[in-house]
Amino acid sequence: MSHIWIMIAQRLALGVMTLFIVSLVIFLGTELLPGDFAQEILGQSATPETVAALRDRLGLNDPMHIRYINWLSDVVRGDLGVSLANGQSVSDLIGRRLGNTLSLALYAAAIAVPLSIMLGILAALFRNSFFDRFANASALTSISFPEFFVAYILIFFLAGAGGVFPSMANFRGDPTLAEFLYRAFLPAFTLTLVVTAHMMRMTRAAIINLLASPYIEMARLKGMNPMRIIVKHALPNALAPIINVVALNLAYLITGVVVVEVVFVYPGLGQLMVDSVAARDMPVVQGVALVFAGAYVLLNLTADVLATLSNPRLVHRR
């Protein structure tokens, strides 16, 4: 059992290392920003004296590595600085919206993951049939669609005139769970459509890869029914690639969320980031990018550990 923990600790250390480097890249972003940070905060009309005073207060006169260490220790303590646009604390801004984005991503994942694995198994079971070809062609098609196209098609058919669902995610008041599921259905369904195809194709490929192996042939010769062969014999061995592709797509959900949130005016992190990029509000962009990158690294890490655990040969290496 102990080497599993060692493995997890190693991966965790690697993840922290990656995050550290990512934070360095994000910090260097501010350094490259043309113009003076203090000038940017105070605006064009500020006198040189006030700019100098602010520079001193923000510690902008310190050498770069000291500022990086200060910034990093602030970040670790949860202080991401102050928005240039409205002077609000970035941590507060993110905190208010993080829950919305996470619940949207979770909602989409809860539909997409079971759906795509089931479809993938069915496509592998009935391979080369009409169903399989249709699933394959539609998968290829949906990968090529921009997210906003899928979103607007859904709005066109399911919202608007005579529609059933709201085209804008409005969270005024405190919606109950059922209300949230109803109001966030279209964005979640859009995300589902975007990621399902890829997961389905990879699940199918992972299972079909195994179907040529001798032990599957043995099971087939024993006269076992095809569904049982796939679920009981092929699926456990195909788990590692499936976990990986699921994690990859969940990570993709994180970035896909940005566009979908803008379409549906969903009050999440993506919307905040897009607005801040347009306004060049660096502290907010830095904070949101850090959160997204953190989630991304964490997901890849989890996938790595789970995929390893699913295969005893990888757990008991050497």
Partner 1 sequence: MGFLTGLFWFVVVIIASMAAGWMFRAAAVGISPRGVAKELKTAPLTASFGMLMILIYIVVAVFAPLIAPFSETAIVGREYQPWDSVHLLGTDNLGRDMLSRLIYAARNTVGIAFVTTALAFGVGSILGLLAATVGGWLDQILSRTVDVLMAIPALIFALLLLTIFGTSVINMILVIALIDSTRVFRLARAVAMNIVVMDYVEAAKLRGEGLWRLITREILPNAMAPLVAEFGLRFCFVFLTISALSFLGLGMQPPTADWGSMVKDNATLISFGDITPLLPAGAIALLTVSVNFVVDWQLQRASGLKE
DSSP string, 287-315: HHHHHHHHHHHHHHHHHHHHHHHH-HHHH
AA identity, residue 286: Q
Residue closer to partner 1 by CB (options 27, 182) is: 27
Could you tell me the two tokens for 67? 């500022």
Residue closer to partner 1 by CB (options 140, 227) is: 140
Query: Restricting to residues 72-131, which ones interact with partner 1 according to CB under 8 A?
Result: 127-128
Which member of 87, 278, 313, 318 binds partner 1 (CB under 8 A)?
278
Which member of 251, 272, 303, 305 binds partner 1 (CB under 8 A)?
251
φ, ψ dihedrals at 16, nearest 5°: -60, -40
AA identity, residue 112: A
Going residue by residue from 279 to 308, which x/- string records binding to partner 1, judged by CB under 8 A? -xxx--xx-xx--xx--xx-----------
Residue closer to partner 1 by CB (options 40, 53) is: 40
Rounded to the nearest whole angstrom, what is the least distance from the CB of residue 163 to partner 1 in the complex?
Answer: 9
247 touches partner 1 by CB under 8 A? no
Distances (CA, A) of 301 to 15, 105, 171, 253: 7, 18, 33, 16
Rounded to the nearest whole angstrom, what is the least distance from the CB of residue 227 to partner 1 in the complex?
Answer: 20
């085209």: which residue's tokens?
A: 167
AA identity, residue 91: S
208 touches partner 1 by CB under 8 A? yes
DSSP 8-state class, residue 231 = I
* Residue-wise burial string across 50-61, b where 16 or more C-beta atoms lie within 10 A, e elsewhere: ebeebbeebeee
* Residue 200 contacts residue 123 (beta carbons within 8 Å): yes
Residues 6+ apart with CB under 8 A from 108: 187, 188, 189, 191, 192, 195, 253
Give the interface size with partner 1 as a residue count (CB under 8 A). Answer: 53
Could you tell me the two tokens for 93? 């801004």
Rg of the Cα atoms in the chain:
24
Residue closer to partner 1 by CB (options 199, 273) is: 273
21 touches partner 1 by CB under 8 A? yes
Residue closer to partner 1 by CB (options 4, 21) is: 21
Residue closer to partner 1 by CB (options 1, 83) is: 83
Query: Restricting to residues 129-188, which ones interact with partner 1 according to CB under 8 A?
Result: 137, 140-141, 143-149, 152-153, 155-156, 159-161, 167
Q: Is the dihedral of CA 265, 270, 271, 277 positive or negative?
A: negative
The contact set with partner 1 (CB under 8 A) reads 18, 21-22, 25-26, 29-30, 32-33, 127-128, 137, 140-141, 143-149, 152-153, 155-156, 159-161, 167, 208, 251, 254-255, 258-259, 262-263, 273-274, 276-278, 280-282, 285-286, 288-289, 292-293, 296-297
